[in-house]
Amino acid sequence: MPPAAGYRPSLAILELGDGFYDVVAPAKFPRHVRRFRNQRWAARVGLESLDDAEWERHFAAFESLPANLPERLALRYHGHQFRSYNPHLGDGRGFLHAQLFDAEDGRLLDLGTKGSGQTPYSRGGDGRLTLKGGVREVLATEMLEALGVYTSKSFSLFETGEALERGDEPSPTRSSVLVRLSHSHVRFGSFQRHAAARDAERIDRLLAYATTHLVPENGPSADGFLRAVVRRSARLAASWIVAGFVHGVLNTDNMNVTGESFDYGPYRFLPTFDPELTAAYFDETGLYRFGRQPAIVAWNLERLAETLALVAPVEGLRAALEGYESQFQELLTAQLLARLGLAPRNADDDGELLRTAFSFLHERTVGYDRFSFDWYGGDASRAMSGSAAKGYAGPSFEAFRRRIADYAAVAPERLALPYYRQAGPCSLLIDEIETIWSAIDERDDWAPFEAKLEAIAELRSANPELVARGRQS
């Protein structure tokens, strides 16, 4: 059957022309077993009417969508990886499959792959994705969306029937191919590639594409573009902190100019507030630990500014960067209020609430998710009668309690929802993910995975204002 009426394809990426991508062929897999289909977001892009066979053809065999890209495109980029410049990057196990518009807000979106086979940038890798990696990414994107983070969406996951050898997990292991829906795949590293070649013409071309289709709010100038990316990136960093999320690999090739979080490898969610928590076992110095993420985003923005210096005056770019810290603090406060379901008061009071909340959380007496769950709506009587009540004590807690008493709930009636009447919050800690994976790996039992997705959906429906913040570009 044809796509629904909301399907609006695009060929915008072809405007860039030569030098930005390579045509590649998708791998042919021995099996296609669908494990996840995001029907909510399929409806946002007019693909909800595809039947099972059509879904498989388009998102496992990668047949072109109607009137969409005729060929698969592996995108070119460079990047700083752990602050060392790497000129040998690019889409090594994925490609751009299609472009289409969000039927609700008109954004241009990309459908890209992960685990779809080798490309010119595979660098000796097999171009595949483990099933565990696919499951972890589905869980990450669903949870982050529910916590108000502007994130890519896991659109489709198929198990593909291959046995993969991996040094960092028991092998052989099962394989998968993921399709993610993203607000573009233009990375900071996309600009870095052309800056390394001193190719001002291609930087101008990429800038025009980005300001036309992705980041239009400040017009076509390089400094206006950078100001917009700074604002979007500050929002992203703030939302990670409030969500208690550690991305793990914040290289410049893993940052998108739209301010969208994506590409989830060794991520973690905080059990308790811990600025030192490091997600990646290979991050031996803790460069990308939880508490450093805002500073890393700032450093990466400086690298983007350097690329734009080939086509714009440095003074305007420096001025654009200077707004990052103040915007991060402003957005951090707003994000925390949204997660707690509280109406803002004024800048001074809101900033003090933020300070006292994080001062208390620093003591790690209660879980990070537990804190937001217990104090949603500022309901002290509810928090102090719960199972974690004994952790709410001491001078730092009393300072927080005095502050939150002045705040009104955005929607106090939500405290009657089943989510807020249950014993504790929905979380996605590493031991929970491992338990979900063990059931799949050992017994092919997908019930814990489905149950977690249902729990996340309930969380998502319990705080729509927070979720809406994650949809703001």
Closest CA to 80 of 247, 299, 290: 299
C-alpha distances in angstroms, 282 versus 102, 279, 285, 287, 289?
A: 37, 9, 9, 10, 12
CA dist., res. 415 & res. 421, Å (int): 7
DSSP calls for 358-394: HHHHTT--S-HHHHHHHTGGG-HHHHHTSTTGGGS-S
Q: In 201-319, at which residue ranges do the beta strands (DSSP E only) sit?
A: 245-246, 268-269
253 as an active site residue: the answer is yes
CA dist., res. 113 & res. 75, Å (int): 11
Residues 89, 250, 247, 141: is their CA dihedral positive or negative? negative
For residue 22, the cross-strand partners are 74
- Amino acid in position 446: W
Q: Which of 110, 253, 274, 350 is catalytic?
A: 253
CA angle 18, 185, 17 (to 5 degrees): 15
Residue 145: CB atoms within 10 A of its CB come to 23
If residue 174 lies in a helix (H) or strand (E), which one and from where to where?
strand 173-182
CA dist., res. 459 & res. 231, Å (int): 27
Strand pairing category for 9-10 and 96-101 = antiparallel
Residue 69: CB atoms within 10 A of its CB come to 23
Closest CA to 84 of 251, 227, 275, 243: 251
Contact 99, 69 (CB under 8 A): yes
CA dist., res. 210 & res. 204, Å (int): 10
Residues with a catalytic annotation lie at 253
